[in-house]
Structure 1
Amino acid sequence: MSPKQRRGAETAERLLDAALTVYSEAGEQGVTVSALTRTSGVSLGSLYHHFGSVDGLMNALVVRWLGRLLEHLGGALAEPRDARAGIESIVHAYLSFVRDHPDEARLLHSAYADRLGMEQARQLRDAQEARLSPLTQWLEGYVAAGEIADLPGPVLEALVLGPVIGFARGWLAGASGVAPDEAARLLPDRIWRSLEP
């Protein structure tokens, strides 16, 4: 990487870090050009050069952290010896990510990220396909072995991740008196029951 490319990459990183800071402190409405340039110390021109717009920057931030969450979940599937242990591992991994990265998780579970997902579903799916593939393949392997109900992939993913995402949203909004570690203890068995053949 040339010095110019390295400086460009560092500038983009500063902008992404600043966007998360501003979003965490002021919410979606606080993510303005002036707040981003002030927090990052980067010029307006650099913001537009690297991301095209504030929305482009926020989209890149969502995609970055979605990728990291999916990588974390993929790593959780590497060790389980059976389907039930795998479900427990996925739930623990998801909720530990939420617990350890609450600002990032708040962004991923926000109305902003939901809108982005609806507006750019195809692009996001294509960008994340390689990362989602291990979860889908893992589920399909246990369906083929008869350990998990033979249901369409999207239904299986909803049964596994739906309750976890629902809990995470409530906890991140402060609406749950249950800690992520307690939910990680309780949810796997209930999810497993919905997947049994």
Structure 2
Amino acid sequence: MTEATTTANTDAPASRSSRDKLLVSALACFDEHGLTGMTIEQIRRQANSSIGSLYHHFGNREGLIAALFLQLLDDQLAWSRTAIDAATTPYETLHALIHGYLDWVTHHPVEARFMYAARSEVARGENAAALKEKNRQRIGLLLAVLKAGIKSGSIRSLPPETFASLLVGPSENYCRAWLADRVQGKPVAHADVFVDAAWRAISATPCE
């Protein structure tokens, strides 16, 4: 099992350490039992925590799942943030995003499986607004780059939802297949292929 990237900060207060232990334990229980099979009691025992502490930090099981999902969204973005910030063109930004995403999934398969399994539950639950805002912040930079590319004529003018399907869809489909053991090649090994395909799909000019 891959340990969660939500490891405890040793300089944080005890309450934060307890919270992080519960998040790491939830991921471990997911890895062993699946999303529908893991229980509050399993997570509590794994974290050597009390039921009261769990409910204090997260309110309920749904809140715990949402907190882990949102934390992993942040971890995923942080994985490639340096490359994204260094990008100066739409193509470089696209390259950094896709490479970073595929590299993160390759190195964090348990976390990625959790995110795929929990996404719809979080999107439908009490934390749907928090997830929507988190995604808005995450894609804000990309949308700004795409708008600049459209204005300069280097990128086709397409609806935002179409961009999302073209840029992320193929990579996500491959990652799902890899995580389900339907394909063998690690996602990051195919990153350049997915970057090239995404750029060809949105570019108004020949691929760089």
Q: Structure 1 length normalisation: TM-score? A: 0.88
Is the 8 Å Cα contact of residues 93 and 142 (structure 2) preserved in structure 1?
no
* Whole-Å separation in 1 of the counterparts to 2:18 and 2:132: 27
Q: Between Structure 1 and Structure 2, how many residues are aligned?
A: 192
> SS at the partner of 1:28?
coil
> SS at the partner of 2:193?
helix
Is the 8 Å Cα contact of residues 25 and 43 (structure 2) preserved in structure 1?
yes
Equivalent in the alignment of 2:96: 89
* Whole-Å separation in 1 of the counterparts to 2:81 and 2:188: 20
Gap runs ≥5 in structure 1: none
Task: Give the one of 119, 123, 126 matched to 1:117.
Answer: 123
Equivalent in the alignment of 2:145: 138
Deviations 1:122-143 (A, max 9, x none): 3311234323211221222222
* Whole-Å separation in 2 of the counterparts to 1:57 and 1:39: 14
Equivalent in the alignment of 1:191: 198
> More helix by proportion, 1 or 2?
1
Is 1:79 aligned with 2:93? no
Equivalent in the alignment of 2:168: 161
Deviations 1:105-160 (A, max 9, x none): 111112x2223224454331123432321122122222222111111222212211
How much has 1:180 moved relative to structure 2? 1.3
Equivalent in the alignment of 1:15: 22
Aligned AA for 1:45? G
> SS at the partner of 1:134?
helix
Is the 8 Å Cα contact of residues 65 and 122 (structure 2) preserved in structure 1?
no
Is 1:65 aligned with 2:64? no
Aligned AA for 1:23? F
> SS at the partner of 2:175?
helix
Deviations 1:23-67 (A, max 9, x none): 112211332122111100000111111111111111100111012
More deviation in 54-63 or 137-146?
Answer: 137-146
TM-align CA RMSD:
1.9
Gap runs ≥5 in structure 2: 1-11
* Whole-Å separation in 1 of the counterparts to 2:80 and 2:144: 13
> SS at the partner of 2:86?
coil
How much has 1:74 moved relative to structure 2? 4.3
Q: Structure 2 length normalisation: TM-score? A: 0.84
> SS at the partner of 2:13?
helix
How much has 1:164 moved relative to structure 2? 1.1
Aligned AA for 1:33? I
Pick closer, same or farther for the CA change 1:144–1:71 going to 2, 3 Å: farther
